[in-house]
Amino acid sequence: MQYRAPLWLPGGHLQTIWPALFSRRHRGPAPAYRRERWTTPDGDFVDVDFVDAADAAAPLLVLFHGLEGSSRGAYALAFADWARRAGWHYAVPHFRGCSGELNLAPRAYHSGDFEEVGWMLARLRERHGRPLYAVGISLGGNALLRWAEEAGDGAGATAVAVAAVSSPVDLTAGALAIGRGFNRLAYTPYFLRTMKPKALAKWAQHPGLFDRERVARARTLLEFDDAFTAPVHGFRDALDYWTRASAKPHLQRIRIPALVLNARNDPFIPARSLPAAHEVGRCVTLWQPPHGGHVGFASGPPPGHVLTLPEAVMGWLQAQR
């Protein structure tokens, strides 16, 4: 990806924060979603938002959102705009608890949730019966890559190609980075302001599921993952979760075309932790532009727009047909 940040938007922090809050994410009116509620194999539910194409035989683009994201996020709307203009079907499956309503089961979602991703993709492929492409943003990208790794040669029966954007494929490096310095002041409270109330509501649903007081005291993602995410999802502790859920150690196992895009000035993800060419398999393409921030990649004069990102990613995905 040949991305050059606008001169008026210097540095990884501004390139992360400004596009998420102010940059334009669609041409014309916002895409109108149609929502479906699916019952999961364990009796819970997930909500999936769709934008339907006029041509029933058009390809399907599936987007997996990031931590505490939804179909209303800037990047989700930007990819929806791309799909609408390209005449593709578009789907955004919400991870459990992220669609505006607390889920029912004694679990939530996490960065290595490849079984859930696989179930969602298989159901979409079975129902739509058309070429399927998938994009994962941040956490959703790591989970998508983990699915492709675990599926191996079987992934091609479900998806033509996948892309991960600004994904922390080394979760330990990313989680520790977000807990330091300016990151801890700016980004950690942003995530915890929704994660902690939802976790505490989950405890009210299922008393004793985890140590409620530890979650209430959590001030970093390390503390939160150690008290909630890890024990609720079967991991020993936060380090065990980050180690087992990270996509980076298994990138050589991917057997379908996969794009891994990370800006080297992403404040969440240290550049030194990004995968190198010798650490990935022949099916994996690495894009690591020097600028872009975390799911930023804004372009144009102020306030800018985030439409360059889906155009670049979808251009690559389409070339894999």
- The catalytic residue positions are 138, 266, 294
Residue 50 to residue 10: CA distance in whole angstroms? 35
Single-letter code of the amino acid located at 150: E
Residue 189 to residue 119: CA distance in whole angstroms? 32
Quick one: how far is CA 170 from the chain centroid? 14
Distances (CA, A) of 287 to 103, 160, 186, 243, 260: 35, 19, 27, 23, 6
Handedness of CA 237, 238, 241, 243 (dihedral sign): negative
Residue 122 to residue 38: CA distance in whole angstroms? 13
Tokens of 307: 């439409």
DSSP state at residue 305 = B
Tokens of 312: 């670049």
List helix spans (H) across the chain: 12-21, 74-86, 114-128, 139-151, 171-178, 181-186, 188-205, 212-217, 221-224, 230-232, 238-245, 308-318
Query: Strand pairing of 161-165 and 284-287?
Result: unpaired
Distances (CA, A) of 166 to 138, 276, 294: 5, 15, 6
The residue count for the chain: 321
